[in-house]
Amino acid sequence: MTTAETETVESFRLRARAWLAENMPRLDADAPLPTLGDDDHEWVRARELQKLLHAGGFAGICFPREYGGLGLSPAHQRAFTEETAGYEMPVQLNIPTFSIVAATLLDMGSEEQKRERISAAIRGDEVLCQFLSEPSGGSDLAGLLTRAELDGDTWILNGQKTWSTSAYAADWGLCLARTNWDVPKHRGLTMFLIPTEAPGLHMNRVKMVNGSREFCEEFFTDVQLPASAVVGEVNNGWAVASRQLFHERNAVGGGSPYVSGIAGRPRALGGQSLFTVARATGRAAEPGVRERVGEWVALEAVKNQMVSRVSRAIGSGALPPPAASLLRLFHAEAAQRGTDLAMDIAGAQIAAGVGTDEGVTGRAGVSYLSRQGASLGGGSSEMARNQISERLLGMPREPAADRDIPFNQVKRGRV
């Protein structure tokens, strides 16, 4: 289709509405919540649902046609997502597969990487993940220690990554490694696209406080990669990582145009809305409880209103890309206020379940335990505040003890 033939948003919306009604399974609002910690079957389901979307011609709405997408605008995407309310959608693929990894490949990848990986993800054949954080640190990403060395035409990768969300379910990961130790940290990094099944890659799952096992850690021992695994240029991996971090903040904040459908149930609250918690405690008529529920309703609304305004502003150039950190920061604040309000409402019942079951209030308690995940995952809130103050407000950069110093001479911590 040429631009002139692009379908209008309204016609696309109506077509999507009819197709969804005919083809997509409905969400069952009364279905019991999945047990925390066991989500493997959700990944199988996500691929099935993505294949359905693809077969119906509604997958990869904002990705270009040559890479398997529809080449439509964010407005088409938003309209589609609005129409998907009430349907089961492959929301697991939103972050990081589409909105972070595929989006970064689209900006920085080779023609081959784009053609193969993006289209496979859109078809529902492949899931993507990110290997960035390391045991030595995630905020100072450019200070990472995983190394890649060239042996003839082959890269040999050694090191360790951690906290990689749902890597066990993924087929490929974007992995940042150090390829030159004699230059300052940002100048010696290279980004690689690696298969999670590569020989020499050993993966463990890490249990989180809420029982989930979506976290993974990976050990790389002489993993061999061809030259075509490099994303962008050798030793210019920071340029790729910067785009990736932008997409990450935008995605975690809720502003990515590459997501399809929104999670029907609030994730930060263990899948339960505050209405559910208020009703379960039998306190829904108390003014204090109603105030808290209303506060939560307002915060959720403001979060979405902010996403639409800031995304529009970044798109039009009214705000520069670092403004994505506004969304990132507010997302964490809203999510955490939500868990706090749920705890207030659950009151005396937060620490106990129903019989041997966690029950609604027990689940609110468990969600409260992982409260800080919202201000760590996707870059911490402190880093978002650094970004906003320095990149958006133009305040002086933090002093750094590693600036302009060859990385092999930079001091490292003991943990």
Partner 1 sequence: MELELTADQKLFQSSARSLLEKDHSLDRLRRLEPGESAWDRDSWQRGAELGWAATIVPEELGGGSVSGEGVRDLTLLAEELGSVVAPGPFLPVNVVLAGLVAAHGTGPDHTATIEALVAGEQVAAWAVYEPGGHWAPEAAHVAASPTADGWRLDGTKDRVEAGLQADLLLVTATTPEGLAQFLVPTSAEGVTTSPQWALDLSRPLAEVRLDGVVVGPDAVVGTPATTAEIVEKQLQIALLVQCAELCGGLEKMFALTMQWGFDRYSFGRPLASYQALKHRYADMRTWLEACHSTTQAAAEAVQAGSPDAPQLVSVAKSFVAERAQWILQDCVQLHGGIGVTWEHDLHLYLRRATSDRALYGTPEDHRRRLADLSSL
Ligand X SMILES: Cc1cc2nc3c(=O)[nH]c(=O)nc-3n(C[C@H](O)[C@H](O)[C@H](O)COP(=O)(O)OP(=O)(O)OC[C@H]3O[C@@H](n4cnc5c(N)ncnc54)[C@H](O)[C@@H]3O)c2cc1C
- Residue 380 interacts with which of partner 1, ligand X, none, CB < 5 to 8 Å by class: ligand X
Judged by CB under 6 A, the stretch of 48-56, 127-135, 190-198, 352-360 that binds ligand X is 127-135
Judged by CB under 6 A, the stretch of 82-90, 147-155, 159-167, 256-264 that binds ligand X is 159-167
DSSP string, 400-411: -TTTTS-GGGS-
Q: Does 301 bind partner 1 (CB under 8 A)?
A: yes
Bridge pairing between strands 172-178 and 128-131: parallel
Exposure string of 362-392, with b = 16+ CB inside 10 Å and e = fewer, is: bbbbbbbebbebbbbbbbbbebbebbbeeeb
Query: Can you tell me which of 385, 408, 409, 412 binds partner 1, judged by CB under 8 A?
Result: 385
Q: For residue 304, give both structure tokens.
A: 């979405």
- Nearest approach in angstroms of CB 332 to partner 1 is 10
Contact code string over 143-172 relative to partner 1, x by CB under 8 A: ------------------------------
* Tokens 């150090």 sit on residue: 178
Exposure string of 280-302, with b = 16+ CB inside 10 Å and e = fewer, is: bbebeeeeebeebbeebeebbee
Q: Does 143 bind ligand X (CB under 6 A)?
A: no
233's CB contacts (< 8 A; 6+ apart) are 190, 239
Q: Does 42 bind partner 1 (CB under 8 A)?
A: no
**Taking every pair of C-alpha atoms in the chain, what is the biggest distance, in angstroms?**
72
- Nearest approach in angstroms of CB 415 to partner 1 is 22
- Nearest approach in angstroms of CB 377 to ligand X is 3
- Residue 310 interacts with which of ligand X, partner 1, none, CB < 5 to 8 Å by class: partner 1
Nearer to partner 1, 92 or 276 (CB): 276
Query: Can you tell me which of 294, 320, 352, 409 binds partner 1, judged by CB under 8 A?
Result: 294
Q: Does 384 bind partner 1 (CB under 8 A)?
A: yes
Which is nearest to 181 in space by CA: 238, 236, 239, 235? 235
The crossing angle, in degrees rounded to 10, of helices 74-83 and 9-23 is 30
Q: Does 210 bind ligand X (CB under 6 A)?
A: no
Task: Answer for the pair 302, 261: CB distance below 8 angstroms, yes or no.
Answer: no
Q: Does 196 bind ligand X (CB under 6 A)?
A: no
Question: Where do runs of H (alpha helix) occur along 282-400?
Answer: 287-316, 324-346, 359-369, 381-387
Task: Answer for the pair 281, 345: CB distance below 8 angstroms, yes or no.
Answer: yes
Q: Does 373 bind ligand X (CB under 6 A)?
A: yes
Q: Which residues pair with 230 in a beta bridge?
A: 192
Query: Can you tell me which of 4, 29, 393, 415 binds partner 1, judged by CB under 8 A?
Result: 393
Query: Can you tell me which of 130, 212, 336, 367 binds ligand X, judged by CB under 6 A?
Result: 130
Query: Can you tell me which of 324, 326, 350, 366 binds partner 1, judged by CB under 8 A?
Result: 326
Task: Answer for the pair 118, 63: CB distance below 8 angstroms, yes or no.
Answer: yes
- Residue 139 interacts with which of partner 1, ligand X, none, CB < 5 to 8 Å by class: ligand X
Q: Does 139 bind partner 1 (CB under 8 A)?
A: no
How many CB atoms lie under 10 A from the CB of residue 408? 11
Q: How far is CA 70 from CA 6, 20, 172, 254, in A?
A: 10, 17, 23, 21
Query: Can you tell me which of 302, 352, 369, 400 binds partner 1, judged by CB under 8 A?
Result: 302
- List of residues contacting partner 1 (CB under 8 A): 275, 278-279, 284, 287, 290-295, 297-299, 301-303, 305-306, 308-310, 312-313, 316, 318, 323, 325-326, 329-330, 333, 382, 384-390, 392-393, 395-396, 398
Applying CB under 6 A, the residues found at the interface with ligand X are 96, 130-133, 137-139, 163-165, 373, 376-377, 379-380, 382-383, 386, 398
